[in-house]
Amino acid sequence: MHSYPTARVGVAGATGYAGQELVRRLARHPAADLRLAMGSTAAGPRRPSPALARVWSGDLAPLDPDRLAAETDVVFLAVPEEAAATIAPALVTAGRRVFDLSGAFRLRDAAARQRWYPHSPEPPSGVVYGLPELDREAVRTARLVACPGCYPTAALLALRPLAEAGLLRPDGDVVIDAKSGVSGAGRTPSERTHFSECHGNVGAYGVFAHRHGAEIAERLGFGVTFVPHLVPLDRGILETIYARLRPGAGAAAVAAAYQTAYTGAPFVRLTGEALPEIKHVVHTNFCDLGWKVDEPSGRVVIVACLDNLVKGAAGQAVQNFNLAFGLDERAGLD
Amino acid sequence: MHSYPTARVGVAGATGYAGQELVRRLARHPAADLRLAMGSTAAGPRRPSPALARVWSGDLAPLDPDRLAAETDVVFLAVPEEAAATIAPALVTAGRRVFDLSGAFRLRDAAARQRWYPHSPEPPSGVVYGLPELDREAVRTARLVACPGCYPTAALLALRPLAEAGLLRPDGDVVIDAKSGVSGAGRTPSERTHFSECHGNVGAYGVFAHRHGAEIAERLGFGVTFVPHLVPLDRGILETIYARLRPGAGAAAVAAAYQTAYTGAPFVRLTGEALPEIKHVVHTNFCDLGWKVDEPSGRVVIVACLDNLVKGAAGQAVQNFNLAFGLDERAGLD
Amino acid sequence: MHSYPTARVGVAGATGYAGQELVRRLARHPAADLRLAMGSTAAGPRRPSPALARVWSGDLAPLDPDRLAAETDVVFLAVPEEAAATIAPALVTAGRRVFDLSGAFRLRDAAARQRWYPHSPEPPSGVVYGLPELDREAVRTARLVACPGCYPTAALLALRPLAEAGLLRPDGDVVIDAKSGVSGAGRTPSERTHFSECHGNVGAYGVFAHRHGAEIAERLGFGVTFVPHLVPLDRGILETIYARLRPGAGAAAVAAAYQTAYTGAPFVRLTGEALPEIKHVVHTNFCDLGWKVDEPSGRVVIVACLDNLVKGAAGQAVQNFNLAFGLDERAGLD
Amino acid sequence: MHSYPTARVGVAGATGYAGQELVRRLARHPAADLRLAMGSTAAGPRRPSPALARVWSGDLAPLDPDRLAAETDVVFLAVPEEAAATIAPALVTAGRRVFDLSGAFRLRDAAARQRWYPHSPEPPSGVVYGLPELDREAVRTARLVACPGCYPTAALLALRPLAEAGLLRPDGDVVIDAKSGVSGAGRTPSERTHFSECHGNVGAYGVFAHRHGAEIAERLGFGVTFVPHLVPLDRGILETIYARLRPGAGAAAVAAAYQTAYTGAPFVRLTGEALPEIKHVVHTNFCDLGWKVDEPSGRVVIVACLDNLVKGAAGQAVQNFNLAFGLDERAGLD
């Protein structure tokens, strides 16, 4: 077990589901000294979840960016993107390193950002998109890491190795059918997330109009059809991805591309033809990837799943923190 | 199949869960002509549920008591008790027969009513408490039927036959531990009914302070300890009831008391020692009752379950309507 | 309300989930006299579900094809396909009309049948594939109706109108991503359907190797990529279907094709851009269809959902029975 | 962070739900060297759960008590009680320390043991009942620790402090109404644990005839009415306990009794009148306790909850291991 110098750490938005998960992980992180946990507004936070009793003994404070800048070295932002859009640049200017879980700084294309995140300013310099397995080097020196959420993380981990190995047919449609647990919608009650509306129910939403589709397309360099669905479980997402291989590419090439991409990546587990299931990844930072190829037709079906609050949110941010501080990528994430 | 003269019927509060169930049942009731379905406020209803397409083809109107009085013979109220407290007496004065699903007129004791339903006036004459199996005669001539909800219905059907047969020990505590699906909390989103808070969770609420405990006690004539719990399912409640039999009373006496009470009652199914489960009653108007007796100690455990939206709400009201109009008690409830 | 002559009816396989639903529907069907309900084996049935108490008062008998032939006019088969493969032809020979819920006689192509249903013989004459909305005339005179199950019903109702109107691009891949409740896997316990394995979980199965994919392709006349998933709910399936429109075809053409196909079809509800959800169809015989078109790209996403035990099983069979006997298509299905 | 000498550890029954949780916890325990993980039979284990990939890299072996004796210092038994009844004494004789999760050695009274665990022999010397918070000293030197399961753990933590402080009325009935997730029933599929039978369902079982009721009574020294229920969730139990206080005892005395009993107990969290919920304890080793007192009547309602696979199984055993080896009680349990 290593011994690390510790960084003074703060969390903004600590009462939401991702924020609670951050507190839980950072409170026992060997290189983090969790100094401040704040709510999402200056009006003060909700009462802390009883689940955190004895996990973290500090007090929850109202949101106060100046205090974050003064008392911490590193800030994790789990606040709505409107708030992150103003807080993150200020913290960077103050010399803090920032790990932002919101979408405010994920899109590079100005027009797309204007459409999907109208509150977001021109990103400050030093911003990187931080999907650790694909952006490892960039994260090491970044000042502000825009951490991708659950849908793009699963989609990009599944598709980028195939695209970069030149295995996908350029004219083949790529369809991403995503099934998400309800915690992905956050902690604020709404009609759509009312228990009686979700239980026993499945529905699609955001067809042809979801900002995560735009984010996936920007990072891939080509468009996809992305349709998310709400399914009646709390944590975890699963994406079923349909694509076409270029002539000549088969199961062996697909397996090789994934092996190459993820050798040494501690949180990507390749399950091959034994397709992964949500149950095996919840409460972990793993993204499990499996696939099947129909060689006569060149069709490939990839299944990717992860816990939206861990690998799709808090765990991802901690993994980026570990990279940025030269720690073992797994620190605090076992 | 009988042919009935039909009554012109209106529903107020048709967009809530109980109200939707009323529309569904009344739209195909052989003796009801569903003329009006209204929301819960004058500001107009939410859009109708897609579930009701082709089930009832009428339009949803804003709440308008004058129109209900003018265009119907019979009104079912599935509105909050504050609204029912004023609408119901006015409709009775106008000569309509009213079936109220709220708690506004359930308590007879003025002090208890003042504590638990501070908006409720002195009840108009012609009010009866309408638990069909136990109040059959009174319902036939009532002008305003206060229909009991899910918790008192299960508790009273389980306990009144034993109490009336003199089988319960006078000094024996009666404990009612109730487990309820989330639809019982209504359709308005809240933190407690947010999917992620209910899924995988069980919690007690209202301990020593639940108005349904007061209602149960008033109808029984003695106090009980009543603790409801929210369990992660949508429809249905189950009550486990713990009591003591007086010396000399055993399993045979309990069975006889239930047989006597419920012979000819089409919606109470006695399951004996094969304890009932929620799964078998959902989407029906049945209340299933089972029990076990430990003769050496005189302890009896009774399990009662029903669908809170049917026997605990809409179906109960329709059953009362059937009684009040001299119809087959099962009309519209198959 | 019509008055019908009644047929003497038997159900084989009455203890499974689809069989119970058949008993429930036929017990109150105005033109059916439910004479016999049998288990799935000669060894005798399990005890009847407590849910059917007071719904049907007959006894469950062991499976006995001779008795079915002797005492009924019409037989509904909800037994495994191995059993149906021998019982159904014998009953047809004996002059009975048969509605088979199994897959034994659904495939027309002998090679496909041999692969997916190796127990199935050459179908007897008088067999028709009975998806009521698309095969209405053939069903009227059939002796043996092979009733399609949940996946092909949703897929064919969604795709056949577009294919027959010539709206689909011939070279466009069609992807069907299906999400199914667990009751579709039947009543026999298995590791995959153990509560703790399904709760909080989603997984794909049968990728590139599902017999319902073959059935869908045969009835469409072209291949599809069909991937079913198990989701943590009991009843209902939802299919998200991805296709490409031929140049020039847009949202208006899609809507027109559906309107043309389903005018007068009482159980297909077109929801347009308000995509349907499982919650609105469970416990009904409806199939709800909605869709969105991205006109620049010609992509169309169709969402179809239904209750697998009703429109995907028992209700479908009853609807076919209604057609075959000249009854109102909705009889017994409200 | 302490540095410990490590013990060589083996797990028998590593493929069940409690066994998987043991592997997960022991694989990262600072004082355990997990050498062997075995299935529940000599015929060899099922394949390991994909959830354990990268969590523990060893192989699963068939059950082999001799190998356990030869290659380990400490054995955790998560096998059925018939197997534990023979394996545990043999391992003790061989000088190993054993932590048994089964019920084989929990009952002290021979007649009760004969009734509920007919396979269990006279316990070897050195057996202790190991509820860490109440039996801390005895565990330190035990050779064989019979670890209590979920129901007795919650009940005893809730009731023993009140009983030992003399706060309970001697003639007052004590009722324990328990609600349990389905993983408590183990990993073997059965009709009762089939997803479609549990989803949307609640049912009681084992009324007046549950061996955990006998265990609770033996450890308390007085009888209780214990009724468990299956509720539709995977992990976690909640017990609602109804008792009477002796005259003069009130809320302050109850609070004081709990404070006294659990000061310094790292895994009992007292929530007072904010009653605990399952959601806050799952995946942790906490038992949360809350209560409400109605002083006029002397009634007390206590709510206790815990994760049946952690504090009710694997975590409990690890906590006992920590005590037995002089480690921090929390080692491996954060």
The answer to whether the beta carbons of residues A36 and A61 sit under 8 Å apart is yes
List Cβ neighbours of D42 (8 Å cut-off, separation of 6 or more). D62, D63, D64
| Domains and their CATH numbers in chain B | 7-148+312-324 (3.40.50.720), 150-307 (3.30.360.10)
**Model pLDDT, residue C280:** 97
Alpha-carbon distance D192 to nearest alpha carbon in chain C (angstroms): 9
Distances in Å between the alpha carbon of B252 and those of B147, B239, B249, B255, C83? 32, 22, 8, 5, 45
What are the counts of helices (DSSP H) followed by strands (DSSP E) for chain B? Answer: 10, 14
Q: What percent of chain B has pLDDT over 70?
A: 98
Per-residue model confidence as pLDDT tens digits over B177-228: 999 999 999 999 999 999 999 999 999 999 998 899 999 999 999 999 999 9
For residue B191, list chain D residues with Cβ-Cβ distance below 8 A: none
Give the model's confidence band at B1: pLDDT under 50 very low, under 70 low, under 90 confident, else very high: very low
Best mutation target, D196, D201, D233, D234, to test chain C (most C CBs within 10 A): D196
Sign of CA dihedral B251, B256, B262, B267: positive
- Chain-chain contact of A196 with B187 (C-beta, under 8 angstroms): yes
Give the model's confidence band at D203: pLDDT under 50 very low, under 70 low, under 90 confident, else very high: very high
**Strand C237-244 vs strand C299-306: parallel, antiparallel, or unpaired?**
antiparallel
- Chain-chain contact of A240 with C303 (C-beta, under 8 angstroms): no
**Residue A111, SS3 per DSSP:** helix
Average pLDDT, chain D: 95
Hunting for tokens 């904010």 — which residue is that?
A: D274
Q: What is the distance between the alpha carbons of residues A158 and A208, in angstroms, rounded to a whole number? A: 21
Q: Please, which residues bridge with residue A294 across strands? A: A299
- Chain-chain contact of C50 with B266 (C-beta, under 8 angstroms): no
Per-residue model confidence as pLDDT tens digits over A196-229: 999 999 999 999 988 999 999 999 999 999 999 9
Q: What is the distance between the alpha carbons of residues A98 and A117, in angstroms, rounded to a whole number? A: 19
Sign of CA dihedral D166, D167, D172, D175: negative
Whether the pLDDT of residue B79 is over 90: the answer is yes
Whether the pLDDT of residue B172 is over 90: the answer is no
Per the document, the length of chain C is 334
* Mean pLDDT computed over B242-264: 97
More confident residue, D12 or D123: D12
Q: Please, which residues bridge with residue D241 across strands? A: D176, D302
Give the model's confidence band at D1: pLDDT under 50 very low, under 70 low, under 90 confident, else very high: very low
For residue A266, list chain D residues with Cβ-Cβ distance below 8 A: 54
* Residue in C150, C198, C287, C305 annotated catalytic: C150
List Cβ neighbours of A137 (8 Å cut-off, separation of 6 or more). none
**Residue A176, SS3 per DSSP:** strand
Sign of CA dihedral D207, D213, D217, D220: negative
The answer to whether the beta carbons of residues A71 and A35 sit under 8 Å apart is yes
Q: What is the distance between the alpha carbons of residues D27 and D37, in angstroms, rounded to a whole number? A: 10
Instruction: Find the CB nearest B50 among C1, C49, C271.
Output: C271
Give the largest CA-CA distance in chain B.
62
- CA D199 to the chain's CA centroid: 25
**Model pLDDT, residue A132:** 98
3-state DSSP percent of chain A in helix, strand and coil, to 5: 35, 20, 45
The answer to whether the beta carbons of residues A102 and A81 sit under 8 Å apart is yes
- What six digits make up the tokens of B30? 């052989």
Burial A130-143 (b: 16+ CB within 10 A, else e): bbbbbbbebbeebb
- Chain-chain contact of A54 with D269 (C-beta, under 8 angstroms): yes
Q: What is the ipTM of this complex?
A: 0.96
List Cβ neighbours of D123 (8 Å cut-off, separation of 6 or more). D89, D105, D108, D144, D146
Sign of CA dihedral B208, B212, B217, B218: positive
Q: What is the distance between the alpha carbons of residues C34 and C29, in angstroms, rounded to a whole number? A: 9
Strands, DSSP E only, in chain D? 7-12, 32-38, 60-61, 74-77, 97-100, 127-129, 144-146, 175-180, 203-204, 225-230, 237-244, 268-272, 287-294, 299-306
Instruction: Find the CB nearest A204 among C207, C231, C303.
Output: C303
The answer to whether the beta carbons of residues B57 and B28 sit under 8 Å apart is no
For residue A286, list chain D residues with Cβ-Cβ distance below 8 A: 54
Which residue is closest to B274 within chain D, CA to CA? D205
Give the model's confidence band at B55: pLDDT under 50 very low, under 70 low, under 90 confident, else very high: very high
3-state DSSP percent of chain C in helix, strand and coil, to 5: 35, 20, 45
Hunting for tokens 């006695």 — which residue is that?
A: B270
Alpha-carbon distance A279 to nearest alpha carbon in chain C (angstroms): 5
The answer to whether the beta carbons of residues A206 and A166 sit under 8 Å apart is no
Sign of CA dihedral A213, A214, A220, A224: positive
More confident residue, B119 or B175: B175
Residue D305 a catalytic site member: no
Best mutation target, D174, D177, D244, to test chain B (most B CBs within 10 A): D177
Half-sphere exposure of C166 (CA within 13 A, CB side): 2
Whether the pLDDT of residue A1 is over 50: the answer is no
Residues of A with CB under 8 A from a CB of D: 1, 28, 30, 49-51, 53-54, 200, 266, 269, 271, 274, 276-277, 279-281, 283-284, 286, 288, 334
**Model pLDDT, residue C172:** 81
Per-residue model confidence as pLDDT tens digits over D138-193: 999 999 999 999 999 999 999 999 999 999 998 888 999 999 999 999 999 999 99
- Chain-chain contact of A200 with C242 (C-beta, under 8 angstroms): no
Which residue is closest to B235 within chain D, CA to CA? D200
For residue B235, list chain D residues with Cβ-Cβ distance below 8 A: 200
Give the model's confidence band at B171: pLDDT under 50 very low, under 70 low, under 90 confident, else very high: confident
How does DSSP classify residue A108? -
For B30-85, give the DSSP string.
TTEEEEEEE-SSTT-PPPPPGGGTTT--S-EE---HHHHHHH-SEEEE-S-HHHHH
The answer to whether the beta carbons of residues C333 and C315 sit under 8 Å apart is yes
- What six digits make up the tokens of B264? 């000819």
Q: What is the distance between the alpha carbons of residues B196 and B210, in angstroms, rounded to a whole number? A: 25
Hunting for tokens 């095996």 — which residue is that?
A: A280
Distances in Å between the alpha carbon of A180 and those of A78, A183, B277, C108? 19, 8, 30, 38
- CA A86 to the chain's CA centroid: 21
Per-residue model confidence as pLDDT tens digits over A34-85: 999 999 998 877 677 899 999 998 889 999 999 999 999 999 999 999 999 9
Hunting for tokens 């004791």 — which residue is that?
A: B109
Per-residue pLDDT tens digits of chain C, which is 334 residues long = 455 679 999 999 999 999 999 999 999 999 999 999 999 998 877 677 899 999 998 889 999 999 999 999 999 999 999 999 999 999 999 999 999 999 999 999 999 999 999 989 888 888 999 999 999 999 999 999 999 999 999 999 999 999 999 999 988 899 999 999 999 999 999 999 999 999 999 999 999 988 999 999 999 999 999 999 999 999 999 999 999 999 999 999 999 999 999 999 999 999 999 999 999 999 999 999 999 999 999 999 999 999 999 999 999 999 999 999 999 999 999 8
Of C303, C304, C293, the closest CA to residue C249 belongs to: C293
Per-residue model confidence as pLDDT tens digits over D23-37: 999 999 999 999 999
Hey, which residues of A are catalytic here? 150
